[in-house]
Structure 1
Amino acid sequence: MWANDHAVRGLGMQVVAVGAGTSTVTMAVRQDMVNGHDLCHGGLIATLADSAFAYACNAYNEVTVASGFAIELLAPGKLGDVLTAVCHEVNKSGRTGVYDVEVTNQHGTRVALFRGRSHTFVGKPVAAD
């Protein structure tokens, strides 16, 4: 996935860890990521959480996409912050799954909570063996 993930790479995200149903992804908040209030754009925080979700649910090597998500923005991200999104699987059954992501800053302050729902294309591998 990493080789073709132009959004994650373009935003400077780093995929720190991936395991079955889990992942950790970081992103440093750059000048081009802040809005008119000098805060990290909420859509970019959602993109970070969604990216962690994507890596966690695709770790089983079956193509899996989001069928929906919700996010609660709890605190602002600021220029220079390093945001960390940690995803874990809540439930996976057949072709559907539920995943939670917590986004924190470098001080451990919770910035956002995200819940994603997934749909898996069973038998369609992400990467060839």
Structure 2
Amino acid sequence: MSNPYRQVVDHMMLHDKFSQWLGIELLDIQEGYSKIKMVVREEMINGFGIVHGGIAFSLADSAFAFACNNRNNLSVALDTSINFTKAIQVGDELTAEAKETHNGRSTGLYFITITNQKNEQVAIFKGTCFRTGKSLV
């Protein structure tokens, strides 16, 4: 049996050039949930020689988008925030897991945890989305 939530996210990934550039791999997609991973590359470091904070944010933002849109109801970010809890290194394999905590008619609330290959938490992201009522596919 095919996963209708995965079908929506596969469609999103097909057109999401930034997530493709990040090297995101889809691990699990369920209703209101996503789990994705990527490997941090050398070109992702900033002028201080450390991994740019936008990398963790972008990974979490993609997990957020896949979780809040997978019911095929176009949803856009209203508010997001991130807390960095551990330094990220080049070569780290990061996993982002997005869990829905509220699914309202017009809004949704999601918490995304990012861990490294040692299962150490490196960041926590919170996102609130607005549901437009339009279909993606």
- The normalised TM-score by structure 2 is 0.89
Percent identity at matched positions? 37
Which one of 104, 114, 135 corresponds to residue 125 of structure 1? 135
Alpha-carbon distance in 2 for matches of 1:100, 1:40? 22
Alpha-carbon distance in 2 for matches of 1:45, 1:108? 15
Task: Verify: 1:103 aligned to 2:114, yes or no.
Answer: yes
Name the aligned partner's letter for residue 106 of structure 1.
Q
Question: How far has the Cα of 1:37 moved from its partner?
Answer: 3.5
Could you tell me which residue of structure 2 aligns to residue 4 of structure 1?
Answer: 15
Which one of 69, 78, 83 corresponds to residue 58 of structure 1? 69
Q: Greater share of helix residues, 1 or 2?
A: 2
**Count of matched residue positions in the alignment of Structure 1 and Structure 2:** 126
Write out per-residue CA displacement over residues 50-73 of structure 1, whole angstroms, 9 at most, x where no aligned residue.
000000001111111111101000
Q: Runs of at least 4 residues of structure 1 off by over 6 A?
A: none
Preserved contact between residue 38 and residue 79 of structure 1 (Cα < 8 Å): no
Which one of 21, 33, 38 corresponds to residue 22 of structure 1? 33
